[in-house]
Amino acid sequence: MKTKFLIILALSFVTASCTKPTKSYYVQDSNREWFADTANLKFTMRDDNGVSQSFSFADIDQYMSEQGSYFMCIYVEGIEYEHVYQSGFSSFSTLNMSVSLTADHLDDEPEGTDDFRMDFGLAHYTMRIDGNKFYPKYCYEYSNDSEMEFMAEYIDKYYVHDVEYQGVMHLKLIDVAYPWAANFPTEVYYAKHYGLIQCTLGDKLTLYRLPD
Amino acid sequence: MGTPVILVAMTVLFTACPRSKPAYIDLGRIPEQYLATVPYRNGDVFRMQHETSKVIIDFEVERHRHKTSSEGYGSVPTRFEPAPDYYYEYEVDMTTCKPKYPVFDLSISLSNAYMLNEEEMQSWYKKADLFAVGSAKVPFVGDDHSDYEIIDSLEINGHYYKDVFKLKTDYYNYDDELIHADTILYNYENGFVGIVMSNGEKYMLYED
Protein backbone atom coordinates (compact mmCIF):
# COMPACT_ATOMS: atom_id res chain seq x y z
CA MET A 1 0.00 0.00 0.00
CA LYS A 2 2.75 2.32 1.04
CA THR A 3 4.68 1.51 -2.15
CA LYS A 4 1.65 2.32 -4.32
CA PHE A 5 1.16 5.63 -2.58
CA LEU A 6 4.81 6.55 -3.10
CA ILE A 7 4.59 5.61 -6.78
CA ILE A 8 1.48 7.80 -7.25
CA LEU A 9 3.14 10.65 -5.41
CA ALA A 10 6.28 10.36 -7.50
CA LEU A 11 4.24 10.18 -10.71
CA SER A 12 2.28 13.27 -9.76
CA PHE A 13 5.51 15.18 -9.18
CA VAL A 14 6.90 13.98 -12.49
CA THR A 15 3.67 14.87 -14.29
CA ALA A 16 3.57 18.30 -12.68
CA SER A 17 7.14 19.09 -13.53
CA CYS A 18 7.01 17.80 -17.08
CA THR A 19 3.60 19.00 -18.20
CA LYS A 20 3.53 22.09 -20.32
CA PRO A 21 0.49 24.37 -20.31
CA THR A 22 -2.08 22.97 -22.71
CA LYS A 23 -3.39 26.34 -23.82
CA SER A 24 -1.84 29.78 -24.23
CA TYR A 25 -3.73 33.07 -24.17
CA TYR A 26 -2.28 36.25 -25.65
CA VAL A 27 -3.32 39.88 -25.50
CA GLN A 28 -5.19 40.89 -28.65
CA ASP A 29 -3.20 42.89 -31.19
CA SER A 30 -5.94 45.53 -31.31
CA ASN A 31 -5.46 46.13 -27.59
CA ARG A 32 -1.69 46.46 -27.86
CA GLU A 33 -2.27 49.68 -29.80
CA TRP A 34 -3.04 51.37 -26.49
CA PHE A 35 0.61 51.32 -25.48
CA ALA A 36 2.91 54.23 -26.35
CA ASP A 37 5.27 53.65 -29.26
CA THR A 38 9.01 53.88 -28.70
CA ALA A 39 9.14 57.27 -30.45
CA ASN A 40 6.56 58.72 -28.04
CA LEU A 41 7.94 57.75 -24.65
CA LYS A 42 9.19 61.16 -23.54
CA PHE A 43 7.03 64.25 -23.57
CA THR A 44 6.17 67.41 -21.68
CA MET A 45 2.83 68.35 -20.16
CA ARG A 46 1.81 71.87 -19.20
CA ASP A 47 -1.00 72.68 -16.81
CA ASP A 48 -3.77 75.31 -16.97
CA ASN A 49 -1.48 77.86 -15.36
CA GLY A 50 1.50 77.26 -17.64
CA VAL A 51 3.64 75.15 -15.31
CA SER A 52 5.47 72.38 -17.21
CA GLN A 53 6.85 68.99 -16.26
CA SER A 54 8.27 66.09 -18.25
CA PHE A 55 7.11 62.52 -18.45
CA SER A 56 9.06 59.44 -19.36
CA PHE A 57 7.71 55.99 -20.13
CA ALA A 58 9.58 52.73 -20.42
CA ASP A 59 9.34 50.41 -23.38
CA ILE A 60 6.57 47.82 -23.33
CA ASP A 61 7.35 44.71 -21.30
CA GLN A 62 5.70 41.31 -21.33
CA TYR A 63 5.63 38.03 -19.39
CA MET A 64 3.55 34.85 -19.15
CA SER A 65 1.76 33.50 -16.06
CA GLU A 66 0.91 29.86 -15.62
CA GLN A 67 -2.13 28.42 -13.94
CA GLY A 68 -2.64 24.69 -13.36
CA SER A 69 -5.63 22.48 -12.60
CA TYR A 70 -5.19 19.52 -10.23
CA PHE A 71 -7.21 16.42 -9.45
CA MET A 72 -6.26 14.58 -6.25
CA CYS A 73 -2.91 16.35 -6.23
CA ILE A 74 -2.27 15.29 -9.80
CA TYR A 75 -1.68 17.94 -12.43
CA VAL A 76 -4.43 17.60 -15.00
CA GLU A 77 -4.06 20.56 -17.27
CA GLY A 78 -2.67 24.04 -17.30
CA ILE A 79 -2.92 27.31 -19.11
CA GLU A 80 -0.61 30.25 -19.60
CA TYR A 81 -1.66 33.82 -20.24
CA GLU A 82 0.15 36.94 -21.25
CA HIS A 83 0.66 40.20 -19.35
CA VAL A 84 1.81 43.29 -21.22
CA TYR A 85 2.62 46.50 -19.38
CA GLN A 86 4.25 49.88 -19.62
CA SER A 87 5.14 52.25 -16.80
CA GLY A 88 6.09 55.88 -16.64
CA PHE A 89 6.67 58.80 -14.30
CA SER A 90 6.84 62.56 -14.25
CA SER A 91 10.25 64.10 -13.78
CA PHE A 92 8.90 65.93 -10.72
CA SER A 93 7.62 62.65 -9.22
CA THR A 94 4.13 64.11 -9.00
CA LEU A 95 2.49 61.45 -11.13
CA ASN A 96 3.68 57.89 -11.60
CA MET A 97 1.57 55.53 -13.63
CA SER A 98 1.46 52.17 -15.36
CA VAL A 99 -0.83 50.60 -17.91
CA SER A 100 -1.22 46.85 -18.13
CA LEU A 101 -3.17 44.31 -20.12
CA THR A 102 -3.79 40.70 -19.13
CA ALA A 103 -4.94 38.27 -21.81
CA ASP A 104 -8.48 36.96 -21.50
CA HIS A 105 -8.34 33.56 -19.78
CA LEU A 106 -11.42 33.62 -17.56
CA ASP A 107 -14.80 32.14 -18.45
CA ASP A 108 -16.89 34.68 -16.56
CA GLU A 109 -15.69 37.76 -18.46
CA PRO A 110 -17.07 39.11 -21.76
CA GLU A 111 -15.86 36.97 -24.65
CA GLY A 112 -12.78 38.28 -26.41
CA THR A 113 -11.95 41.01 -23.91
CA ASP A 114 -8.63 41.49 -22.14
CA ASP A 115 -8.22 42.89 -18.65
CA PHE A 116 -7.06 46.53 -18.69
CA ARG A 117 -5.63 48.42 -15.74
CA MET A 118 -4.37 51.99 -15.47
CA ASP A 119 -2.60 52.49 -12.16
CA PHE A 120 -1.65 55.82 -10.59
CA GLY A 121 -0.21 54.54 -7.32
CA LEU A 122 -3.04 55.88 -5.16
CA ALA A 123 -5.72 54.07 -7.14
CA HIS A 124 -6.29 52.26 -10.41
CA TYR A 125 -8.94 52.15 -13.09
CA THR A 126 -9.81 48.65 -14.23
CA MET A 127 -12.02 47.45 -17.08
CA ARG A 128 -12.36 44.84 -19.82
CA ILE A 129 -11.33 45.99 -23.23
CA ASP A 130 -11.77 44.80 -26.81
CA GLY A 131 -10.04 47.29 -29.10
CA ASN A 132 -12.31 50.32 -29.02
CA LYS A 133 -14.96 48.78 -26.80
CA PHE A 134 -14.66 49.31 -23.06
CA TYR A 135 -16.44 47.57 -20.19
CA PRO A 136 -15.64 49.61 -17.05
CA LYS A 137 -15.49 47.74 -13.77
CA TYR A 138 -14.36 50.12 -11.01
CA CYS A 139 -11.70 52.54 -9.85
CA TYR A 140 -10.09 51.00 -6.81
CA GLU A 141 -8.62 53.30 -4.18
CA TYR A 142 -5.94 51.62 -2.08
CA SER A 143 -5.99 53.72 1.11
CA ASN A 144 -9.74 53.34 1.76
CA ASP A 145 -10.11 49.96 0.10
CA SER A 146 -13.02 51.38 -1.87
CA GLU A 147 -14.34 50.82 -5.37
CA MET A 148 -15.63 53.85 -7.23
CA GLU A 149 -17.63 54.04 -10.45
CA PHE A 150 -16.17 55.58 -13.57
CA MET A 151 -17.23 56.06 -17.16
CA ALA A 152 -15.14 55.07 -20.18
CA GLU A 153 -15.72 56.17 -23.75
CA TYR A 154 -13.89 55.85 -27.03
CA ILE A 155 -13.27 59.05 -29.00
CA ASP A 156 -12.25 58.86 -32.69
CA LYS A 157 -10.38 62.17 -32.73
CA TYR A 158 -9.29 64.46 -29.93
CA TYR A 159 -7.18 67.61 -30.06
CA VAL A 160 -4.67 68.77 -27.48
CA HIS A 161 -2.65 71.91 -28.28
CA ASP A 162 -3.81 71.61 -31.92
CA VAL A 163 -2.40 68.13 -32.28
CA GLU A 164 -4.90 65.55 -33.52
CA TYR A 165 -4.88 62.20 -31.73
CA GLN A 166 -6.80 59.36 -33.37
CA GLY A 167 -8.25 56.73 -31.09
CA VAL A 168 -8.54 58.15 -27.59
CA MET A 169 -9.68 56.53 -24.36
CA HIS A 170 -11.55 58.90 -22.06
CA LEU A 171 -11.94 57.83 -18.43
CA LYS A 172 -13.80 59.90 -15.86
CA LEU A 173 -14.79 59.27 -12.27
CA ILE A 174 -18.50 59.68 -11.69
CA ASP A 175 -18.39 60.72 -8.02
CA VAL A 176 -16.51 63.98 -8.36
CA ALA A 177 -17.47 65.03 -4.83
CA TYR A 178 -15.36 62.23 -3.33
CA PRO A 179 -12.25 63.71 -1.66
CA TRP A 180 -9.71 62.36 -4.13
CA ALA A 181 -6.08 63.14 -3.41
CA ALA A 182 -4.97 66.44 -4.95
CA ASN A 183 -2.69 64.70 -7.43
CA PHE A 184 -4.95 61.79 -8.40
CA PRO A 185 -6.16 61.90 -12.03
CA THR A 186 -9.95 61.95 -11.87
CA GLU A 187 -10.23 62.36 -15.64
CA VAL A 188 -7.82 60.92 -18.20
CA TYR A 189 -7.42 61.13 -21.97
CA TYR A 190 -5.16 58.40 -23.28
CA ALA A 191 -4.30 58.00 -26.95
CA LYS A 192 -3.35 54.93 -28.97
CA HIS A 193 0.40 54.84 -29.72
CA TYR A 194 0.98 57.98 -27.60
CA GLY A 195 -0.24 57.26 -24.07
CA LEU A 196 -1.20 60.07 -21.73
CA ILE A 197 -2.31 63.25 -23.53
CA GLN A 198 -4.43 65.01 -20.93
CA CYS A 199 -5.47 64.52 -17.32
CA THR A 200 -7.29 66.43 -14.63
CA LEU A 201 -6.02 66.05 -11.11
CA GLY A 202 -8.15 65.87 -7.97
CA ASP A 203 -7.88 69.58 -7.33
CA LYS A 204 -9.17 70.33 -10.85
CA LEU A 205 -5.83 71.24 -12.35
CA THR A 206 -5.57 69.94 -15.92
CA LEU A 207 -2.32 68.95 -17.63
CA TYR A 208 -2.06 68.96 -21.43
CA ARG A 209 0.55 67.22 -23.53
CA LEU A 210 2.70 69.59 -25.58
CA PRO A 211 3.56 68.88 -29.23
CA ASP A 212 7.01 67.33 -29.78
CA MET B 1 43.53 11.13 5.65
CA GLY B 2 45.53 14.28 4.85
CA THR B 3 42.68 16.35 3.40
CA PRO B 4 40.29 16.10 6.38
CA VAL B 5 43.09 17.05 8.75
CA ILE B 6 43.90 20.14 6.71
CA LEU B 7 40.21 21.06 6.56
CA VAL B 8 39.84 20.71 10.34
CA ALA B 9 43.02 22.70 10.91
CA MET B 10 41.82 25.50 8.61
CA THR B 11 38.40 25.58 10.27
CA VAL B 12 40.02 25.89 13.71
CA LEU B 13 42.42 28.51 12.42
CA PHE B 14 39.74 30.70 10.89
CA THR B 15 37.13 30.30 13.59
CA ALA B 16 39.37 30.42 16.63
CA CYS B 17 41.00 33.73 15.72
CA PRO B 18 38.21 36.28 15.45
CA ARG B 19 39.06 39.63 13.97
CA SER B 20 39.67 42.37 16.44
CA LYS B 21 36.60 44.41 17.22
CA PRO B 22 36.29 47.31 14.78
CA ALA B 23 36.93 50.77 16.13
CA TYR B 24 33.82 52.76 16.86
CA ILE B 25 33.95 56.47 16.20
CA ASP B 26 31.29 58.84 17.40
CA LEU B 27 31.55 62.10 15.51
CA GLY B 28 29.18 63.88 17.86
CA ARG B 29 26.81 66.57 16.72
CA ILE B 30 26.72 68.91 13.75
CA PRO B 31 28.20 72.24 14.89
CA GLU B 32 25.75 75.13 15.20
CA GLN B 33 27.51 77.29 12.61
CA TYR B 34 26.94 74.56 10.03
CA LEU B 35 23.30 74.11 10.99
CA ALA B 36 22.96 77.84 10.34
CA THR B 37 23.57 77.11 6.66
CA VAL B 38 19.90 76.11 6.51
CA PRO B 39 17.51 78.84 7.72
CA TYR B 40 14.37 76.67 7.87
CA ARG B 41 12.61 75.36 10.98
CA ASN B 42 10.27 72.41 11.13
CA GLY B 43 6.74 73.65 10.31
CA ASP B 44 7.83 76.75 8.39
CA VAL B 45 6.00 77.65 5.19
CA PHE B 46 7.63 79.67 2.44
CA ARG B 47 6.37 80.64 -0.98
CA MET B 48 7.83 80.52 -4.46
CA GLN B 49 6.30 82.04 -7.55
CA HIS B 50 6.39 80.43 -10.98
CA GLU B 51 7.64 83.43 -12.94
CA THR B 52 5.66 83.22 -16.19
CA SER B 53 2.34 81.94 -14.84
CA LYS B 54 2.54 83.96 -11.58
CA VAL B 55 1.31 80.87 -9.71
CA ILE B 56 2.37 81.10 -6.06
CA ILE B 57 3.30 77.80 -4.46
CA ASP B 58 3.46 77.17 -0.72
CA PHE B 59 6.22 74.84 0.45
CA GLU B 60 5.83 73.22 3.88
CA VAL B 61 9.06 72.49 5.70
CA GLU B 62 9.87 69.32 7.60
CA ARG B 63 13.20 69.35 9.37
CA HIS B 64 14.57 66.47 11.42
CA ARG B 65 17.96 65.48 12.79
CA HIS B 66 19.02 61.90 13.49
CA LYS B 67 22.08 59.78 14.15
CA THR B 68 23.23 57.21 11.66
CA SER B 69 26.33 55.10 11.17
CA SER B 70 28.47 53.85 8.32
CA GLU B 71 31.27 51.36 7.90
CA GLY B 72 34.77 52.57 7.19
CA TYR B 73 37.32 50.49 5.34
CA GLY B 74 41.07 50.62 5.00
CA SER B 75 43.28 52.86 7.06
CA VAL B 76 41.68 54.83 9.80
CA PRO B 77 42.14 58.58 9.79
CA THR B 78 45.19 59.68 11.73
CA ARG B 79 43.32 61.21 14.64
CA PHE B 80 41.92 57.82 15.66
CA GLU B 81 43.47 54.60 16.92
CA PRO B 82 44.63 52.39 14.04
CA ALA B 83 42.42 49.46 13.17
CA PRO B 84 41.70 47.53 9.99
CA ASP B 85 38.00 48.46 9.84
CA TYR B 86 35.89 50.91 11.76
CA TYR B 87 32.39 52.27 12.20
CA TYR B 88 31.58 55.91 12.46
CA GLU B 89 28.42 57.45 13.78
CA TYR B 90 27.40 60.87 12.64
CA GLU B 91 24.44 63.19 12.55
CA VAL B 92 22.25 63.94 9.55
CA ASP B 93 20.04 67.00 9.43
CA MET B 94 17.37 66.62 6.75
CA THR B 95 15.11 69.39 5.53
CA THR B 96 12.31 68.57 3.09
CA CYS B 97 10.09 71.22 1.54
CA LYS B 98 6.82 69.79 0.22
CA PRO B 99 4.90 71.87 -2.32
CA LYS B 100 1.13 72.38 -2.16
CA TYR B 101 1.06 72.17 -5.96
CA PRO B 102 2.15 69.35 -8.27
CA VAL B 103 5.77 70.35 -8.69
CA PHE B 104 9.04 69.00 -7.27
CA ASP B 105 10.10 68.70 -3.63
CA LEU B 106 13.07 70.72 -2.41
CA SER B 107 15.42 69.28 0.16
CA ILE B 108 18.65 69.98 1.98
CA SER B 109 20.87 67.47 3.72
CA LEU B 110 23.60 68.33 6.23
CA SER B 111 25.94 65.88 7.88
CA ASN B 112 28.99 65.98 10.11
CA ALA B 113 30.59 62.92 8.49
CA TYR B 114 33.28 65.35 7.25
CA MET B 115 34.65 65.33 10.80
CA LEU B 116 36.14 61.93 10.11
CA ASN B 117 38.99 64.03 8.74
CA GLU B 118 39.60 62.12 5.55
CA GLU B 119 40.33 64.29 2.56
CA GLU B 120 37.59 62.69 0.50
CA MET B 121 35.08 63.12 3.30
CA GLN B 122 36.00 66.75 3.66
CA SER B 123 35.32 67.58 0.06
CA TRP B 124 32.13 65.55 -0.13
CA TYR B 125 30.42 66.17 3.20
CA LYS B 126 31.65 69.60 4.19
CA LYS B 127 28.89 71.14 2.13
CA ALA B 128 25.12 71.23 2.30
CA ASP B 129 23.45 69.05 -0.32
CA LEU B 130 20.58 70.75 -2.10
CA PHE B 131 18.09 68.79 -4.17
CA ALA B 132 15.54 70.17 -6.61
CA VAL B 133 15.21 67.64 -9.48
CA GLY B 134 18.97 67.89 -9.73
CA SER B 135 21.45 68.47 -6.94
CA ALA B 136 24.02 71.05 -5.95
CA LYS B 137 26.32 71.66 -3.01
CA VAL B 138 26.75 74.83 -1.03
CA PRO B 139 29.64 75.39 1.43
CA PHE B 140 28.99 75.76 5.13
CA VAL B 141 28.95 79.13 6.83
CA GLY B 142 32.51 80.30 7.37
CA ASP B 143 34.12 77.88 4.89
CA ASP B 144 35.93 78.73 1.66
CA HIS B 145 33.56 80.29 -0.90
CA SER B 146 36.17 81.12 -3.52
CA ASP B 147 35.05 78.43 -5.99
CA TYR B 148 31.46 79.66 -5.98
CA GLU B 149 29.68 82.22 -8.06
CA ILE B 150 28.02 84.61 -5.63
CA ILE B 151 25.52 87.33 -6.52
CA ASP B 152 26.09 90.22 -4.09
CA SER B 153 22.52 91.46 -4.27
CA LEU B 154 19.57 89.99 -6.15
CA GLU B 155 16.24 91.82 -6.51
CA ILE B 156 13.04 89.79 -6.73
CA ASN B 157 9.66 91.51 -6.58
CA GLY B 158 11.07 94.51 -4.75
CA HIS B 159 12.94 92.41 -2.18
CA TYR B 160 16.72 92.28 -2.10
CA TYR B 161 18.59 89.11 -1.29
CA LYS B 162 22.28 89.31 -0.38
CA ASP B 163 25.15 86.94 -1.05
CA VAL B 164 23.21 84.48 -3.18
CA PHE B 165 25.04 81.38 -4.35
CA LYS B 166 24.40 80.63 -8.01
CA LEU B 167 24.77 76.86 -8.15
CA LYS B 168 24.79 74.82 -11.33
CA THR B 169 23.21 71.43 -10.68
CA ASP B 170 24.36 67.91 -11.46
CA TYR B 171 21.72 65.85 -13.18
CA TYR B 172 23.70 62.69 -13.61
CA ASN B 173 21.02 60.38 -12.23
CA TYR B 174 18.40 61.44 -14.67
CA ASP B 175 17.64 61.88 -18.31
CA ASP B 176 18.84 65.20 -19.68
CA GLU B 177 15.83 65.42 -22.00
CA LEU B 178 13.48 65.70 -19.03
CA ILE B 179 12.84 69.04 -17.36
CA HIS B 180 15.10 69.44 -14.35
CA ALA B 181 16.62 72.18 -12.21
CA ASP B 182 19.54 73.75 -14.05
CA THR B 183 20.53 76.37 -11.48
CA ILE B 184 19.68 76.78 -7.81
CA LEU B 185 19.90 80.21 -6.16
CA TYR B 186 20.49 79.92 -2.42
CA ASN B 187 21.63 82.00 0.50
CA TYR B 188 22.15 81.38 4.19
CA GLU B 189 19.54 83.89 5.29
CA ASN B 190 16.58 82.85 3.10
CA GLY B 191 17.44 79.35 1.87
CA PHE B 192 16.07 78.68 -1.62
CA VAL B 193 15.88 82.01 -3.42
CA GLY B 194 15.22 80.68 -6.90
CA ILE B 195 15.20 77.61 -9.13
CA VAL B 196 15.91 77.96 -12.86
CA MET B 197 14.67 74.96 -14.80
CA SER B 198 16.32 73.45 -17.87
CA ASN B 199 13.43 74.69 -20.07
CA GLY B 200 13.86 78.25 -18.82
CA GLU B 201 10.93 78.30 -16.40
CA LYS B 202 11.78 79.93 -13.08
CA TYR B 203 10.51 79.56 -9.55
CA MET B 204 11.51 82.55 -7.42
CA LEU B 205 11.07 83.24 -3.72
CA TYR B 206 7.87 85.18 -3.11
CA GLU B 207 7.40 87.49 -0.16
CA ASP B 208 4.52 89.94 0.41
CB-based contact B178 A51, cutoff 8 Å: no
What value does the mean pLDDT take over residues B3-16? Answer: 60
* pLDDT given for residue A124 in this prediction: 94
| Burial grade of A162 (CB within 10 A; 0-12, 13-18, 19 or more) | exposed
Instruction: Judge whether A125 and A118 are in contact, CB under 8 Å.
Output: yes
Considering only CB atoms, A42 lies closest to which of B52, B177, B180, namely B177
What gap in Å lies between CA A90 and CA A59, rounded to an integer?
15
Which residues does chain A have within 8 Å of residue B55's beta carbon, measured at their own beta carbons?
49-51
Which residues does chain B have within 8 Å of residue A47's beta carbon, measured at their own beta carbons?
102
Shortest CA distance from B103: residue in chain A: A92
**Bridge partners, residue A206, by sequence:** A200
Q: pTM for the whole thing? A: 0.82
pLDDT digits (tens, 9 = 90+) for B179-195: 999 999 999 999 999 99
Q: Please give the angle made by the CA atoms of A202, A203 and A209, to the nearest 5 degrees.
A: 75
Confidence band of A17 (pLDDT split at 50, 70, 90): low
Q: Which residue has the higher pLDDT, A185 or B4?
A: A185
ipTM: 0.80
CB atoms within 10 A of CB A13: 13
